[in-house]
Amino acid sequence: MSSISFLTAQGHSPERPASMDIFAPDYREEPYWWMAAPPSAADAADPNPLPSKAEVVIVGGGITGLSAAIHLARGGAEVVVADAGAIGGGAARMNAGFLGRTLKRSVGWLEQHVGPDYAVRVYRELDEALKGVESFVEAEGIACYRRSCGRLISANSEPHLRDLVEDMDHMKRRLGFDYEVISKADQQSELASDRYFGGVVVPDLGSIHPGLYHAGLVARAKGAGVRFFPSTTVVGIDADGRRKTVRTDKGAISAGQVIVATNGYTPRNLKWFARRLVPFRGFVMATEVLPAGLIDKVLPRRRTYLDTKMNIDFIRPAPDSERILFGGMTGRLNTTSTSLMPALYRRMVEIMPDLQGARISRSWTGYCAGTFDFMPHIGTQDGIHYAMGYNFAGVPLGTLFGRKLAARILGRGDGTSAFDVGKFPTLPFFNGTGLVAPLAMRYFDHHDRRLAKRT
């Protein structure tokens, strides 16, 4: 999902704050997922010069771009993928690896503001995306620890719990998606924390190792004949009749079709797209290897975990080692992941006191993207295909949207989407800057405080 690699201090072991002895001896400011699946420009790069012509050029070598590339190449198209960084150097191998069908807009909200038919279509498509990852991974034989572990959504207050249960009940009545209410008294059976007021478990949501998943996509794309050009920055796309000219810092490519799949890494020189995306920096850390007994005490069901705040905290066990991953404090600016770790560590221990003393082995930060209507978007602008603005649902939706974009270009298969609504909103004078994110997070915090006080 990225076209520009971003890591505050890639592979760096920075000076540690003396105030807190929270860092393991092997601490690195680098995504945990890179231990098993590091990005590499050399492994994926085409040895030949950038071609002057291609049937399809995809801007961005993340999940969306590679999903589209695989289906296009297997359908007979000549496909070139251009990425400003290393293939796998962005969000595709930095995200938390949650698999869900959740948006900031609930079924009830969409019914009230857009209509019941549209609300059902959206959540049916989210369900299709969730199940599509499972079927794709199984069919392709990608070893990436995909499992249906279930998700605990913990309520930050009693009003949060009431709203959560109301939303889940409404979704079950309209769509049949099952859930289980967890009372505050039973919270410890799911998460060793006294911080929450109960919650719900959604049993069929899942998790994945995003680094290994993306590495599997790269391997299958290369096997299908897709050509990769990392460290190739797209500086503009021009329309010239039926063909497009993709201008890069390595030369221009004449393309019959173009896909922009850059999400939170969309450069400002792709102005129309950048003006519609709000890039958010997420922060995640991984503990050192912990005793298995400690993890089973803290996370008895080994699910994925998040809360009901707009600016969520999220937790999961690592799928391939005895570690816990914790993330939150999204939207901070001008902050390295290392400098944020003392505050994020305190938050983790406040939620899970049993982790006091566990040290941090990895931390990282990268970009995801929100939108002004809180909805993902897929469509075409001036003949250029795009899919972006995932609002934290990028792994399943990116996989699905890539397939749908390929179907549109090939002219066969199902390319329709409830998220192709024509209107992709922006704000006057907005130019794609990340300065909006901190303001949005302050609003979200205010919203959550007001909700928590509601009787």
pLDDT in tens, 147-192: 999 999 999 999 999 999 999 999 999 999 999 999 999 999 999 9
pLDDT in tens, 16-44: 544 458 999 999 999 999 999 999 755 67
Residue 453 located in a structural domain:
no
Torsion of CA 240, 243, 244, 250, to 10 degrees: -110
Q: What is the DSSP letter of 15?
A: P
Backbone angles phi, psi at 11, to 5 degrees: 65, 20
pLDDT at 6 over 50: no
Residue 452 located in a structural domain:
no
Token pair for residue 193? 């924390």
Residue 126 located in a structural domain:
yes
Contact 426, 275 (CB under 8 A): yes
How far apart (Å, rounded) are the C-alpha atoms in residues 306 and 261?
Answer: 27
Token pair for residue 364? 């990282």
- Find the domain containing 210 and state its range: 23-445
Residue 12 located in a structural domain:
no
More confident residue, 356 or 292: 356
Give the strand pairing for 79-82 and 227-229.
parallel
How far apart (Å, rounded) are the C-alpha atoms in residues 439 and 418?
Answer: 29
Q: What is the number of domains present in the chain?
A: 1
Contact 312, 282 (CB under 8 A): no
More confident residue, 139 or 330: 139
pLDDT at 88 over 80: yes
Residue 286 located in a structural domain:
yes
> Which residues are within 8 A (CB) of 293 and not within 5 positions of it... i.e. 6 or more apart?
none
How far apart (Å, rounded) are the C-alpha atoms in residues 401 and 66?
Answer: 11
**Share of the chain residues as helix, strand and coil, in percent rounded to the nearest 5:** 35, 25, 40
Percent of the chain with pLDDT over 90: 79
pLDDT in tens, 271-294: 999 999 988 888 999 999 999 899
Mean pLDDT of 246-259: 97
pLDDT in tens, 363-382: 999 988 989 999 999 999 99
**pLDDT value of residue 5:** 30
Backbone angles phi, psi at 300, to 5 degrees: -55, -35
- Tell how far CA 174 is from the center of its chain: 26
- DSSP, collapsed to helix, strand or coil, labels residue 240 as strand
CATH assignment at residue 164: 3.50.50.60
Residue 179 located in a structural domain:
yes
Q: What is the mean pLDDT of the chain?
A: 90
Helix residue ranges, H only, 279-360 = 292-298, 337-351
pLDDT band at 329 (very low <50, low <70, confident <90, very high): confident
DSSP, residue by residue, 132-188: HHHHHHHHHT--S--B---EEEE-SSHHHHHHHHHHHHHHHHHH----EEE-GGGGG
Percent of the chain with pLDDT over 70: 89
Sign for the pseudo-dihedral over CA of 422, 425, 430, 431: negative
Does the predicted model carry a pTM greater than 0.75?
yes
How far apart (Å, rounded) are the C-alpha atoms in residues 389 and 371?
Answer: 6
> Which residues are within 8 A (CB) of 125 and not within 5 positions of it... i.e. 6 or more apart?
400, 417, 418, 419
- Tell how far CA 114 is from the center of its chain: 25
pLDDT in tens, 112-133: 999 999 999 999 999 999 999 9
| Residue linked to tokens 């997070």 | 441
Query: Hey, which residues does 245 pair with through a beta bridge?
Result: 238, 254
Residue 165 located in a structural domain:
yes
pLDDT at 328 over 70: yes
Residue count of the chain, please give it. Answer: 455
Residue 7 located in a structural domain:
no
Contact 374, 104 (CB under 8 A): yes
